[in-house]
Chains A and B, each alone.
Chain A
C-alpha cells in the first residue's frame, strides 16, 4: 500500500515545526522540523538521550512543546491534553492495568470516553482477534507473558482508532526471537489498520526491518530522514553511516567537485572519483560498508578500477551466517569486512595474522559529511 504512488499529494499527518525543548542548558529537542506522511511506519532512531522519546511524548501530549508547533492532521496541538488528542501510545513498560482483565484493559479507553455499551463488546472482540489474543480475554496481566502484555497494550491503543499510534521502544523488553516475531506482527498490523505508526527505537535493525521511513536523531537534532535502503546506502553524515550498520571510514582531501561526484585523494586509496552523498557534501569522509569490501588471500590481482589495500587480520568474529574479519591496514588504520558463509564446507575463515589484500570498488565508496 505504502509503495503505491498517490495521485494527489496528501498533506502529512504530523507536522513538527521548529520545535525546541530545553531542560536547563541541555537541549533535548533542538529546532526540529519534520513532516510524517500518512500511513507511514515512521521510526525515530537514535542513541539514548538523543531526544527521540521527548519528541514522541510531545506528540502524545505528555511534554510541553517548548517553542515551535506540532500539527496533527492539520490541527495545532498546543494546550491539548493527552486525553483529547487523536493519538494513542504503547508505553515502554506497556502500562497494562494490573487490576483489569485483558478485555477490561482493551475496553477501558472506550468506556471512559462514553462509547455505547453495545458497541464496546464487538470492538473489543475485534481488537482481541486482531492482536491474536483469542481465548485470553478473561486473563489478568500477571497471567500473561511479556509478549502477550504488549499485544494487550497494542489492542488497547488500536481499539480507539487513533489517527496516530505512538510506540515507545516497544520491543526492548522482549527476547530476540519474540522481538523478530513482533516486528513482523507490527508491520502486518500497520498494513491492516492503515494507521500511521511512529516508533521510537535505538535498535537500527528494528528500524530498518520495520519502518517505511526513518529519522536519525542525535543530540536533539534530526540528521537524516530517509527510507531504510537509502539510509543504509546513502547516508549523508558520518554519524548516520556508523550508527546504521557498520562502516569503514577513510580520511580524504577533495581535489575537485565534479557534478554529483567528487575527485578525492586519500593516503590509503590514492586518487579516485566517488559519489557525493548529497549536494551539500563538499568535504568529509569516505565510507564503505564491510560487506562491499572484497577480500583476497592469494597474490593480489587488482580487478579493473579497484583500489587495493594491504593488511593483516587481527581477529575474526563468527556469527554463523556471516563472519566479520577485523584487520589492520599497512598504514595502521583499522578496517572490518564481512563474509557470508554461503557454503557449508568450503572457505574456512582465515587465521589471525594472515596477510591479505582488500579490493574496494570506487562505486561502493561514498563521500559523506562529518
Chain B
C-alpha cells in the first residue's frame, strides 16, 4: 500500500534515509532503558550476560530496607516539592504575565537563574546557606527532609513558571472581562476562568517539577544531612559496589511509576486542552 502513491515533496517520513535516521535516534534514546528493564529480570549477580528469567531481584529490592526507605523519602520529597513549586511557580508566572510593576524585568531575569546556574553551584550554595543559618541537623524523620525539599523547590519552581507563562501567553484577556461583565468578582474570575485555562500548564509544570525532584542527585547530595537517603543517592552508593540486577529492578519500578503518573496527567488534561486551544 505504501509504495502506491509517489512520495510527496514534504513527506519526509516516507523516505528511507529519514526512516533509518529515526530508527537510529530511537535506538540511541531507548536502548539503554530497554536493557535496564530486561536485565532486571536476569538471573545473575552480574549485569553482563543473560542467564535466565527471574523476578528474584524485585523481591530482594523490596526486602532491602535502606532502598525502600530511600524510595519512600524520594516520593515524599517529590510530592511536597512538586506542590510547593507548582504553587510558587504559577504565582510567579501570573505576576509576570499580568502586572507591570517596577523591578519586573529584574524579577523576570532573576527567576530564570536557577535554570541556568550549574547544579553543582546550586548544591554548594545551598549547603553553605544551611550551614550559615545554622539549620538544625539530625532532626527526626520526616523533618530531616525539609532542607532537601527546600533545595528542590528552589530549582524546580522556575521551570513551572516558564511552562505556565507559555500557556498564559495564549490567553484571551476578554475572557476575564467577560467573566467580570457577567457579575463575577476578581476572585471568582480567577478560579472559574483563569485557573481552568492555566490547568494544562499547571499539569505539565508539575510533572516537570516532579521528574526533576525524583531524579535529582547533585543538590540532594549536598543538602541531605547525615543518614538521610534518597533513591538516586542510594542507587549511586549501591552501584559503587557493582551494579546488581537489584538496582535495575528498583529503577524499573521508578520508571513504571513515572510513566503511570504521566499517563494519568495527560489523560486528565486532555478534554480541556482541546477546548482551550480554540478559545
* Segment of B30-38, B60-68, B125-133, B190-198 engaged in the interface with chain A: B190-198
Interface presence of A95 (CB below 8 A): yes
Q: Are A96 and B279 in contact (CB under 8 A)?
A: yes
Q: Are B182 and A88 in contact (CB under 8 A)?
A: yes
Kindly identify which residue among A60, A93, A96, A98 contacts B181, using a CB–CB cutoff of 8 Å. Answer: A60
Question: Once bound together, how far apart are the Cα atoms of A88 and B197, in whole Å?
Answer: 23
Q: Are A95 and B197 in contact (CB under 8 A)?
A: no
* Segment of A8-16, A106-114, A120-128, A249-257 engaged in the interface with chain B: A106-114
| B180: A residues at CB distance < 8 A | 81-83
Q: Are A98 and B197 in contact (CB under 8 A)?
A: yes
| A81: B residues at CB distance < 8 A | 180
Q: How many residues of A contact B (CB 8 A)?
A: 29
Q: Are B174 and A112 in contact (CB under 8 A)?
A: no
Interface presence of A237 (CB below 8 A): no
Q: Are B181 and A89 in contact (CB under 8 A)?
A: yes
Question: Once bound together, how far apart are the Cα atoms of A157 and B177, in whole Å?
Answer: 13
B contact patch SS: helix
Q: How many A-B pairs fall under 8 Å by CB?
A: 87
Interface presence of A221 (CB below 8 A): no
Question: Once bound together, how far apart are the Cα atoms of A109 and B193, in whole Å?
Answer: 12
Q: Are A160 and B182 in contact (CB under 8 A)?
A: yes
| B177: A residues at CB distance < 8 A | 60, 62, 82, 89, 91, 95
Known: A141-B279, A142-B274, A142-B275. A97 touches B193 (CB 8 A): yes
Question: Once bound together, how far apart are the Cα atoms of A188 and B104, in whole Å?
Answer: 50
User: Which residue on chain A has the smallest CB distance to residue B182?
Assistant: A109
Q: Are B183 and A142 in contact (CB under 8 A)?
A: no
Question: Once bound together, how far apart are the Cα atoms of A160 and B275, in whole Å?
Answer: 25
Kindly identify which residue among B185, B197, B278 contacts A141, using a CB–CB cutoff of 8 Å. Answer: B278
| B274: A residues at CB distance < 8 A | 142
Interface presence of A52 (CB below 8 A): no
18 A-B pairs (CB sep. < 8 Å)? A82-B181, A83-B180, A83-B182, A83-B184, A92-B174, A95-B174, A95-B175, A98-B197, A98-B278, A98-B279, A99-B272, A108-B179, A112-B185, A113-B183, A140-B275, A141-B278, A160-B182, A160-B183
Interface residue ranges, A against B (CB under 8 Å): 60-62, 81-84, 87-89, 91-93, 95-99, 108-109, 112-113, 140-142, 153, 156-157, 160
